[in-house]
Amino acid sequence: MRYHGSCHCGTVAFDVEGDLDKAMECNCSHCSRKGYLLWFVPRGQLDLATPEADMATYTFNKHVIAHRFCPNCGCAPLALGTAPDGKPMAAVNVRCLEGVDLAGLERVPVDGRSF
């Protein structure tokens, strides 16, 4: 299935394709504060409508994931990085996707505080 996502004001927009049935709920200091529900997909399944240069970036800890957010509204709909297998990946904040029933998603807890 194809989903459309964006930040609150619409400046950062994208489409992502895949089977969304679960999302990771990480308890690290960053994810827990922002309330992320993350869906990891291969980078090729994400189509950015906004150039990366028009997004702000935040990195922390090991600085391997580029958390992208809107410089206007501050909403953080996605992150880009490398999967454990070395392939490019995207982490999509499913709260920023249109038409997703969050109650119907399996939430997979991740202990990011321990990394």
Q: Is the pLDDT of residue 62 over 80?
A: no
pLDDT in tens, 85-113: 999 999 999 999 999 999 999 999 999 88
Q: Which two tokens stand for residue 110?
A: 């991740």
Pick the CATH number of 2-114 from 1.10.3430.10, 2.170.150.70, 3.40.190.290, 3.30.450.20: 2.170.150.70
**Sign of the CA dihedral running 46, 52, 57, 63:** positive
Residue owning tokens 């410089």 = 71
Residue owning tokens 């997703």 = 100
| Domain ranges, ordered by start, for the chain | 2-114
Q: Is the pLDDT of residue 64 over 90?
A: no
On whether the CB atoms of residues 95 and 36 are closer than 8 A, the answer is yes
State the Cα–Cα distance between residues 9 and 54, nearest whole angstrom.
Answer: 14
The dihedrals phi and psi of 33, each to the nearest 5 degrees, come to -70, -35
pTM for the structure as a whole = 0.92
Coil, helix or strand for 4?
Answer: strand
